[in-house]
Amino acid sequence: MRDACAVVLAGGESRRFGSDKALAQFRGEPLISRVVRELRLAGFAQLALAAKDPDKYAAAARGAEPLHDLRPIQTPLAGLAAGLRASRYPLVFACAADMPFAADVALLDALFAALAGHDAAVPVHAGARQPLCALYRREPCLRAAAELLARSAVGPKRLLDTVRTAFVDWPEERPFLDADTPAQLARLESAG
């Protein structure tokens, strides 16, 4: 059991997808169902779902506590802040609702190990930081996120510049694959 909260971020508008991608079918079930189930199997003590309207995901995200992201601005950082605020644990893993392979156990183990002495542990693949598949320390990150959101609608990458962040080089792309378009979802369907 991981004494941590896993929060699934489902606050996007899915503009490029054309419909709510979190509810799109992936291998016979809604994409968000797969993400929640994999996080449960990874052993998180608490599961939560942050969205502007989490009730529409209730059936598909069974077992995840619904968190209302009440901020009017549209940014994943607002959903992350909701998850940090609601966590009953000092550590929070956050991932996007369209990332079916995010709960990679080896990656999670590496992030938990890298967090010592830091406020966040964030994977880096091919030079790109992955803040939507990362581990955060609740108190310092919530404080920093609240300060950032009070000023503007910035994304989670800005948070990484304001807290002590450990960057973990990760050679495999698989945990960070997401479905921004139906074509990307079709490619994920055939991914091993």
Non-local CB neighbours of 111 within 8 Å, separated by 6+ positions? 93, 121, 122, 123, 134, 135, 168
Specify the DSSP class assigned to residue 140: H
Q: Are 138 and 156 in contact (CB under 8 A)?
A: no
Pairing between β-strand 44-51 and β-strand 65-68 as defined by DSSP bridges: parallel
Non-local CB neighbours of 31 within 8 Å, separated by 6+ positions? 21, 22, 23, 24, 25, 97, 98, 100, 179, 185
d(CA 87, CA 100): 22
Q: Say whether 179 sits in a helix, a strand or coil.
A: coil
Q: Nearest CA to 11 among 59, 70, 58?
A: 70
Q: What is the pLDDT along the chain (192 residues), one digit of tens a residue?
A: 899 999 999 966 556 666 688 998 999 999 999 999 999 999 999 999 999 889 999 999 999 999 988 776 678 999 999 999 999 999 999 999 999 999 999 999 999 999 999 999 999 999 999 999 999 999 999 999 999 998 887 889 999 999 999 999 999 999 999 988 888 888 888 876
d(CA 78, CA 99): 18
For residue 138, give its domain range.
Answer: 2-190
- HEC assignment per residue over 69-101: CCCCCCCHHHHHHHHHHHCCCCEEEEEECCCCC
CATH of the domain at 129: 3.90.550.10
- Return the pLDDT at 13: 57
Number of domains in the chain: 1
Instruction: Please give the structure tokens belonging to residue 31.
Output: 């994409």
Against a cut of 0.75, is the pTM above it? yes
Strand residue runs (E) in 36-159: 44-51, 65-68, 91-96, 120-125, 128-129, 133-137
